[in-house]
Amino acid sequence: MNTNKWILSLAMLAGVSVMVACGGSETAEETTSQTAEAAPVAEEPMAEAWVAPAEAKAVANPFTADAASIEKGKGIFTQYCISCHGENGKAEVPAGMAVKAANLVDKTPAQTDGELHWKLLNGRGAMLKISTYGISDEDGWHLINYVRTLAAQG
Ligand code: HEC
């Protein structure tokens, strides 16, 4: 009798110890499918030409385009603008870029510094206003002085 009880309690113990360890199967299936099939860049011109308001036209650049101003503009342009406009301002960026930026060499000569500055301050679409990057109004003028040198190189 005693032996039977002993065997029974052993069997119960064994049963309890069978833990259903249902550890969450952590199969981190990160879908690393980067379908980087470069979509063709739309070559069609912008829907509407971007025109600064008339009053912006007469606003003068308070900074002479001297070496120091141009150098300052170049530094900022290199950091924030070439990703879209390219080193030479012609927007010759790698094919497949989602944004087709403006060719600054073509577009800027016909505009005054005031108009360009207004565009930098206001932005449009993918062209974010420069304050978004923490660039001051003042540095906007230096940027323009630098962009003028790119346009002059053609
Ligand atoms: C994310 C891409 C991108 C970046 C970064 C960028 N731009 Fe642009 N830029 C554009 C696009 C796109 C346009 C055309 C906007 C439109 O016409 O709606 C444009 C337009 C312009 C224009 C006006 C051209 C015209 O039609 O008169 C100027 C000037 C300009 N950018 C200067 C700059 C400067 C300076 C910087 C750096 C502070 C800069 N951009 C950064 C995409 C960019």
Domain boundaries, the chain: 65-91+98-153
For the cut 50, the answer to whether the pLDDT of residue 32 exceeds it is no
Centroid of ligand 1 to alpha carbon of 101 (angstroms): 6
Q: Is residue 125 in contact with ligand 1, taking CB distance under 6 Å?
A: yes
131 CB neighbour count, 10 Å cutoff? 14
**Structure confidence at residue 48 (pLDDT):** 84
CA dihedral for 147, 142, 115, 135, sign (positive or negative): positive
Q: Is residue 79 in contact with ligand 1, taking CB distance under 6 Å?
A: no
Helix (H, G, I), strand (E, B) or coil at 127: strand
Q: Is residue 102 in contact with ligand 1, taking CB distance under 6 Å?
A: yes
**pLDDT tens string 48-86:** 899 999 999 999 999 999 999 999 999 999 999 999 999
**pLDDT tens string 141-153:** 999 999 999 999 9
For the cut 80, the answer to whether the pLDDT of residue 38 exceeds it is no
* Contact (CB, 8 A) for 39 and 122: no
Reported pTM: 0.76
Centroid of ligand 1 to alpha carbon of 85 (angstroms): 7
Paired tokens of 75? 């530094």
| CATH class for the domain made up of 65-91+98-153 | mainly alpha
Q: How many residues does the chain have?
A: 154
